[in-house]
Amino acid sequence: MTTPDFWRARAAPSLDDIEALAEAARADLPSPFAEAARGVILQVAEIAPDDMLEALGMDDPLDLTGLYEGIPLTEKSLFDVAVQPDMIWLFRAAILDEWCARGDVALDALVTHVFVHELAHHLGWSDDDIARIDRWWE
């Protein structure tokens, strides 16, 4: 069997590719969300580290596509001393696993969804709040 030319020299999207898609999503945010998003560090990793999974009570790193670490804007005070910067983590292997499993969504749309979901936590929205607005699973 020969490989179709379309697949020659193709590789899975890299960490840098996922980061570029997330940064494009950030750049496309409407105001005032764009301003809030500028203050969050974006970190893209292959998979979630074991200590993070353990803290979340998770076993399978492919179950975690993204995570917000920080204090939501709704809970911050001028008197708070930042222990660490607000950060959105995206996990490449889990995102690609979900992308392949779905088979019906563009990669940029999935990365945007994960990034915006985590940004919503930065804004102080709960998972229930997000679910009422973002009917992603439908």
Cβ neighbours for 12, distance < 8 A, ≥ 6 positions apart: 96
- Domains of the chain plus CATH, in order, are 12-73+82-133 (3.30.2010.20)
Question: Over the stretch 18-75, which tens digit does the pLDDT of each residue have?
Answer: 999 999 999 998 887 888 889 899 999 999 999 999 999 999 999 999 999 998 888 8
Which residue, among 54, 50, 52, has the nearest Cα to 67 in the 3D structure?
Answer: 52
pTM comes to: 0.86
Which residue, among 56, 35, 43, has the nearest Cα to 92 in the 3D structure?
Answer: 43
Q: Tell me the average pLDDT across 5-12.
A: 79
pLDDT of residue 3: 63
State which amino acid sits at residue 5.
D
